[in-house]
Amino acid sequence: MIKLTALQKDALGELLNIGMGRASASLSEMVGEEVELSVPHVNILPYKEAVNSVSENVGKEVTAVRESFKGAFWGDALLLFPENQSLQLVKALLKDQELPIEILSEMEQEALTEVGNIILNACLGSLSNIFEQNLEFELPKYSHGSCSEVLKQDKRTLQDQHNEGVLLLQMNFSLEKTKVNGYLTLLMDVDSMEALSKQLSIYFGGAV
Partner 1 sequence: MTENTMLIVDDSGLSRMMIKKFAQASKPNWQIIEAEDGEDALKKCQGQDIDYMTVDYNMPGMDGLTLCIKLRELFPQAKISLLTANIQNSVKDRADELGVIFIQKPVTEDKIKTFIHS
Residue from 57, 126, 170, 197 in contact with partner 1 (CB under 8 A): 126
Binders in 135-154 for partner 1, by CB under 8 A: 135, 137, 139
Of 23-42, which residues contact partner 1 (CB under 8 A)? Answer: 26, 29-30
Residue type, 91: K
Q: Considering beta carbons, is residue 4 or 30 the nearer one to partner 1?
A: 30
CB nearer to partner 1: give 39 or 139: 139
Binders of partner 1 in range 99-118 (CB under 8 A): 107, 110-111, 113-114, 117-118
The single residue among 134, 155, 205, 207 that binds partner 1, judged by CB under 8 A, is: 134
Antiparallel, parallel or unpaired: β 141-146 and 61-71: antiparallel
The amino acid sitting at 100 is P
Q: Which stretch binds partner 1 (CB under 8 A): 35-43, 52-60, 127-135, 166-174?
A: 127-135
Among candidate residues 134, 166, 121, the one with its CA nearest the CA of residue 19: 121
Q: Choose between 129 and 161: whose C-beta lies nearer to partner 1.
A: 129
CA distances (Å), 84 to each of 16, 59, 64, 108, 205, in order? 26, 10, 12, 12, 45
Q: Could you give the count of Cα atoms lying within 13 Å of 141 in the half-sphere of its Cβ?
A: 14
Helical residues (DSSP H) of 94-176, grouped into ranges: 101-131, 147-151, 156-159
Stretch that binds partner 1, among 120-128, 166-174, 187-195, 198-206 (CB under 8 A): 120-128
Q: Considering only residues 157-186, where is the footprint of partner 1 by CB under 8 A?
A: none
Residues 192, 139: Cα–Cα separation, whole Å: 20
Return the number of the residue (8 or 126) whose C-beta is nearest partner 1.
126
* Residue 128 or 153 with smaller CB distance to partner 1: 128
* Beta-bridge partner residues of 146: 61
Upper half-sphere CA count for residue 134 (Cβ side, 13 Å): 1
Q: How far apart are CA 26 and CA 183, in angstroms?
A: 15
The answer to whether residue 21 forms part of the interface with partner 1 (CB under 8 A) is no
Q: Which residues bind partner 1 (CB under 8 A)?
A: 22, 26, 29-30, 97, 107, 110-111, 113-114, 117-118, 120-122, 125-126, 128-129, 132, 134-135, 137, 139
